[in-house]
Structure 1
């Protein structure tokens, strides 16, 4: 068994950084993307889907934290699945995690470009998204402490803006609007809406990707996860419910900038506050965009370090101690996705990767409880085995729903997995054992 050597990442992150990274990773999901769920389920149908997914994330995060603190590794689910199930388990979990984060980035890039276009119609969506990609790859290369400090600043602004949004639209909420055609597609719509409800919370698990850069991870990671989840649940439900009651929700169910549009309905598009809100609305998207680039690069780095991707991607910059080639690789994937898909398609692909990763993580938790009962577990999943079982069950239902309603995108995802697996076997990587180190 070999332990692959690579330059070490710096341990500089504290609980406030973890909260900011976790909330920052996710918070764009409150700004856009979730509203596509209304189009397939209506307001009440989507509320039901959101409550189910909220339960999934509560049980998942409390279970996932056991894995993150026991195995603080930049590979996250890849490391857990490898330790529990060996090379093929690690491959599936790693592939799913890469899809999760590398495709969340261009989806957010689309929204960033759309917000700018809303403000300044002369700015085209795609070029703006490409510029943001380049800028934030360079920021992340400059150092993890610098980028984490930026995460705290931008995330606080984004949370403040959502609270401001709720304060502005709240007095204009009308239950009659929210209850107009509440479940036009019945219970089938609830299942179709599940991936868009996942978008409310998708990527919170990205904190695992910076586990090797956390001071005292066994104490600080649970604090970061739990505080961020509480923040996100409040924001998700508040934004979704209040927005659905200010007008005919169908006007907002197919656009990339629902919150600025909602403000303009309440105050008028020419209002100075509408323009200001749309401008600072970029903060939430920037926070998530920055976070997914950070987390995705750490997944690429960890898999390259373990021999699952080309070794060059595991190189750490000697000056900044960041995985610069992993960041560039993620940027190239983002560029390609921006030119080949729509926002809703890329969201579904990203969510599909996340759901498979969640399932692999919960399966790993059950296996490791049996396989390594004496492994140090600084944080244990509460109500075991109920919590991980609930997370696994709801994740499985989500997987079935996504595949049933999105056959073409699902075929792309699983064809990619099949190709990666074939290459993995041909190169003989499944015969090489690695030691998942957590130093």
Structure 2
């Protein structure tokens, strides 16, 4: 990037010529598929650690609580994204009503979630690849990062079509698993973990008591984590006002159903005590039912790998759009929002991918989940609070979709998100402190290098300049 381009100014026509996304490539069905693909890896690995932490009953309660949190969050985001359709998603909503500090604090929290979540997923991919080939470790992680970032560089339309196909395979594998496990389901298997005598209030239903439920919240979130990324595709949607609310709500309904399927059937066949430690719970449960070398288990292992790939692939898309939006607005280095001839953010894809790959080298998928959840819960509370402020400050803003329950719905999200945030300190204090450290470094960067620069303009001026430049280019 030349010095002349750097000095042309954020929002100028010359600046925006090199920062364009491809418009109109995603209808509501593709957006719903995107929402499912963000999350579907959670059905394949990671969630079951919550059973080992809280027992099946504890994980059930945690899942109901987090399912409610995500459902209310989705309703809030459906209204916000239809009213303010930009690639910044949560950052853009918060920036409008809480200024540059609130906007960056929200965007950074989402970025922490979206950069670290693929690291967790690629570790779980390694477990599935190991079950198939015996290979695992950094080389496997590197291959997946390189190949799927490469696919994204081809173009947004092509990437989304690829994602849709991969997600379809993942859904088929879940359906096949459900059909295969259902005849072998026994309710007694859900309660084969003995109550912990050292925990007050422990029972067969809650073997680790209510503290176990609290500690299991991050793993329950893993069944829904990242569905909130649908609004990041706003600038590539065909009709954002209609497609974004419909897409994100349809995705959430599907995810609630799929969460119920795996939560009941996997431990209901394999037993809760065993299921809580599985690296590939769907495959392992099928092997319990049909034998170690069963064709059904091998089929789900091969096809089910697509579920992990789908989430990995789509979250890479999500972080690149968020980095693009933050960079374009001046919060991150300008080079991160440069787009290629195919209108995809080159360095916005590569740089966070390198960070995620480095994080994956720990090999600790559960720790990566905790760090991602830390960022996610902060962002949920801030986005829901932005919704409340926007309702109060701009009651006349055109809202193509209005969230049922309004402010009450947003407060449910906030309360549950803050409870989930505290749970990060219960399961693994190391992960919580790592997350706090990374978040603190990000905020320090903002205050030292960017606060003065981005505070020169209001949110309205910032978005107006970007919109005007885009209109001129179009």
TM-score w.r.t. the length of structure 1 is: 0.96
> Which runs of structure 2 are paired with 1:305-316 in the superposition (5 Å)?
305-316=328-339
* Range that drifts further, 369-378 or 224-233: 369-378
> Which runs of structure 2 are paired with 1:292-331 in the superposition (5 Å)?
292-318=315-341, 320-331=342-353
In structure 2, the partner of 1:229 is 252
In structure 2, the partner of 1:71 is 84
* Range that drifts further, 246-255 or 162-171: 246-255
Distance 1:329 1:167 in 2: 41
In structure 2, the partner of 1:268 is 291
In our comparison, the structure showing a higher alpha carbon Rg is 2
> Which runs of structure 2 are paired with 1:47-66 in the superposition (5 Å)?
47-66=60-79
Distance 2:347 2:215 in 1: 37
Q: 1:429 aligns with which of 451, 457, 462?
A: 451
Could you tell me how far 1:259 is from its partner in structure 2? 1.0
Q: Deviations over 1:1-42 (max 9, x none)?
A: 964642321121111210111101100001111001011100
CA spacing shift, 1:301–1:9, aligned 2, 3 Å: same
Q: Deviations over 1:25-79 (max 9, x none)?
A: 1000011110010111000110011011111111110111111111111111111
In structure 2, the partner of 1:355 is 377
Q: 2:131 aligns with which of 118, 125, 143?
A: 118
> Number of aligned pairs?
437
Q: Deviations over 1:212-255 (max 9, x none)?
A: 10011001111101111111110111111111111232222223
In structure 1, the partner of 2:179 is 167
RMSD: 1.5
Q: Deviations over 1:77-119 (max 9, x none)?
A: 1111111101110111111011111111111101111101011
* Range that drifts further, 78-87 or 418-427: 418-427
Could you tell me how far 1:120 is from its partner in structure 2? 1.2
Distance 2:357 2:77 in 1: 31
Could you tell me how far 1:160 is from its partner in structure 2? 1.4
Contact 1:40–1:189 (8 Å) recurs in 2: yes
Q: 1:13 aligns with which of 6, 17, 26?
A: 26
Q: Deviations over 1:356-412 (max 9, x none)?
A: 110010010111112222222111111112211111111111112223443322222
Distance 1:115 1:418 in 2: 34
CA spacing shift, 1:22–1:425, aligned 2, 3 Å: same
> Which runs of structure 2 are paired with 1:370-381 in the superposition (5 Å)?
370-381=392-403
Contact 2:232–2:318 (8 Å) recurs in 1: yes
Give the 3-state SS of the residue equivalent to 2:22 in structure 1. Answer: coil
* Range that drifts further, 29-38 or 380-389: 380-389
* Range that drifts further, 409-418 or 52-61: 409-418
Distance 1:224 1:375 in 2: 22
Give the 3-state SS of the residue equivalent to 1:436 in structure 2. Answer: helix
Give the 3-state SS of the residue equivalent to 1:246 in structure 2. Answer: helix
In structure 2, the partner of 1:177 is 189
Matched, 1:140 2:152: yes
In structure 2, the partner of 1:80 is 93
Q: Deviations over 1:176-235 (max 9, x none)?
A: 111223321111100100000000000101111111100110011111011111111101
Matched, 1:128 2:152: no
Could you tell me how far 1:341 is from its partner in structure 2? 5.0
Contact 1:269–1:275 (8 Å) recurs in 2: no
Q: Which runs of 4+ in 1 moved over 6 A?
A: none
In structure 1, the partner of 2:108 is 95
Distance 2:138 2:131 in 1: 13
Contact 2:39–2:227 (8 Å) recurs in 1: yes
Contact 1:307–1:429 (8 Å) recurs in 2: no
Give the 3-state SS of the residue equivalent to 2:463 in structure 1. Answer: coil
Could you tell me how far 1:415 is from its partner in structure 2? 2.2
In structure 1, the partner of 2:387 is 365
Consecutive unaligned residues of structure 2, counting only runs of 5 or more, are 1-8, 194-204, 468-474
Distance 1:231 1:204 in 2: 11
Give the 3-state SS of the residue equivalent to 1:19 in structure 2. Answer: helix
Give the 3-state SS of the residue equivalent to 1:317 in structure 2. Answer: coil
> Which runs of structure 2 are paired with 1:279-294 in the superposition (5 Å)?
279-294=302-317
Could you tell me how far 1:333 is from its partner in structure 2? 1.1
Give the 3-state SS of the residue equivalent to 2:339 in structure 1. Answer: coil
Q: 2:437 aligns with which of 406, 412, 415?
A: 415
Q: Deviations over 1:299-338 (max 9, x none)?
A: 11111111111100000102x1111110001210111111
